[in-house]
A and B are shown apart, each in its own frame.
Chain A
Amino acid sequence: MSQLKKRYTLTEQQKMMVFILSMSLFGMATMVSELLPELKVGIVEFKVEYFLFIPLSLAILFHPLHAAVGAALGRIIFGEIMLGKFEALGEIESFLALVLSLYVAGIIVRDPSNRFMVGLASILAVIIDQFISMGVDIGKVWIGVEELETIPGLYESVVAVEGFAFLNDVIVSGTLFAMIPTMYLVPKLYGKIEPLLGMKPKTKDLQIPFSDIITPRFMVGAVIVAVVAFLAEALSESDFAPSFEWAYAAENEFLFTIISLIVAALVSILIIWRVMSKRENAETAR
């Protein structure tokens, strides 16, 4: 007896609910985990990286894409912007890694009451997320340091530090704060939380096709990101800046003249700024 698999669809409002729920909860959890103390024994660091069990449970119980995007955004808003450490470009990779890992976890679990699958999906999500962030960190050193090969020990040390952090995060944050709580929470929440959002629980015969996320637009975006990353790396290899050709032709004295002119211009800009803002203040005071 074969059942027709129905696609799991939500209305705009339900998507927004899942999004808001995931965003506010994971954001709050991130803030809590930022404030938790960390225990350091040598280079072994027992630190709660994040409470991944919250978005994991939501991604498994609801539509994975909206829960994942909401969680990643929530982390940025509560954990970064509000604590004042928002690094616009640096967040992009962690955002994408988190979305990807949560989405994969949400897709794997067909039946939320199957504890084994839930546990497997959650540990897999942590591994994907941490592996991507480790790769990015190692890549940063690779791009940012010139002639890496000539410096003895640097490359090994970076790999060792990052690899250790990876294992540590997977073991501590992964099992204690992702796998075990998710396995405990998902069966408990299953069937209880969905009616609160006005939707039916996810069942086995609902299917979420991959084509929902891998659209042509997504693929074009991925290609562009890859090209930009490659170009940036190539530029850094060639030591592009600041070797403008016209500047080599110029005499040193000429250069120094220009530099002193620029300094004069900088000072005058500062003075103009002061005068104009003073005038403005005087006008508003009147």
Chain B
Amino acid sequence: MKIEVLNAAYGNTDTPIARLDARTIFVWYLFYALFPWLTHSWIVLAGMFLMLTATIYLARVSYLLLFLFIMGIIGQGGMVLAVSLFFGGNFETIMPILMFETKLAIISLAGLIAFSTMEPEKLSDGLLKIGVPGQVSFSISYGYRMLPTLIEEYNHVFMSFRLRGKAPEKHGLFYWRSAVYFMKLIVKSFYPLMLSSAKRARTTVESLESRGSLVSFNNKEVKKVKLAHMKFTYKDILFAIFNILYVLMLFMLAIALN
């Protein structure tokens, strides 16, 4: 589980999608995230869905994430459906719900493709380029750097609590005693962690300060040097033309078949 999570965090680099410029991907995502709300046409939605499925194959999204995504969509849709049948709905309710779920699916698939396969540095550079404050991209790199340390430390605290403490002798009905015990430990383990992270935050800021990073976060010159490597290539152009033509084709199909 831990390994799979870390795998998902550090994406893959050599897929056709990953070679595009971050800005191209942002625009592409923006279209797929906003447009489904503006249409009620089955043909357009289905076409977009097909396109995304093909892109998933190209981008090699991790199987764990796909599985979680599918389970989530089925679970949510099924629940709304069941409750609406209970409230006196009939099978005519299914089509609108299905369309709604397709819209949600398109949006989250686009998010999966765009961001789950993007490397963290690329994401933070891209965000910096489109004008997000430097603190955000610093936080992303800091998060990736600190995550293993923090998890390790939390694990240590948790384990030492377990070593020193006394687990309940009986599990109780449905293991409720053990559940309460573990929940308490989970919460309590954060207390030492808070103090040590406070110390660490102070060290971090001190070292940032000694390098003048607090000033350079939003300095234009620094940004220019840092982001000089980002440029559009023929791939971005081809990708853009392909997508625009495809969507145009969908509109025309929708009109022609209606």
**A interface list, Cβ under 8 A from B:** 12-13, 16-21, 23-25, 27-29, 31-32, 35-36, 43, 51, 53-54, 57-58, 73-74, 77-78, 81-90, 141, 143-148, 151-154, 156-158, 160-161, 176-177, 181, 185, 188-189, 192-193, 196-198, 232, 235-236, 239-244, 247-248, 252, 255-256, 258-259, 262-263, 265-266, 269-270, 272-273, 276-277
Contacts and interface: CB of A to CB of B under 8 A. Distances in A.
Interface of B: 1, 5, 8-9, 11, 16, 26, 29-30, 33-41, 44, 61-62, 65, 68-69, 79-80, 83-90, 92-93, 96-97, 99-100, 103-104, 107-108, 111-112, 114-116, 120, 123, 135-136, 139-140, 142-144, 146-147, 150-151, 154, 183, 186-187, 190-191, 193-195, 197-202, 204-206, 208-209, 214, 234-235, 238, 241-242, 245-246, 248-256
Contacts of A263: 249
A84 B103 contact: no
A36 to B, nearest CB: 8
B40 to A, nearest CB: 5
Contacts of B36: 144
Chain A interface SS verdict (over half): helix
B183 to A, nearest CB: 7
| Nearest 9 interchain pairs by C-beta | A153-B89, A84-B116, A157-B84, A153-B87, A242-B251, A157-B83, A87-B111, A21-B201, A86-B115
B194 A176 contact: no
8 contacts: A21-B201, A54-B194, A81-B9, A153-B93, A160-B83, A232-B34, A239-B39, A244-B255
Given A89-B33, A241-B251, A82 B256 contact: no
Contacts of A236: 37-38
Contacts of B108: 85, 87, 90
A153 to B, nearest CB: 3
Given A20-B201, A151-B89, A157-B89, A269 B146 contact: no
A240 B38 contact: yes
A83 B65 CA distance: 8
Nearest to A80: B115
Contacts of A141: 100
A272 B250 CA distance: 22
Nearest to B90: A152
A266 B214 contact: no
Contacts of A58: 194
A198 B255 contact: no
Given A28-B150, A43-B83, 6 more contacts: A86-B111, A157-B87, A161-B79, A269-B238, A270-B242, A276-B234
Contacts of B123: 81
Contacts of A181: 187
Nearest to B136: A73
A197 B120 CA distance: 29
A30 to B, nearest CB: 11
A177 B187 contact: yes
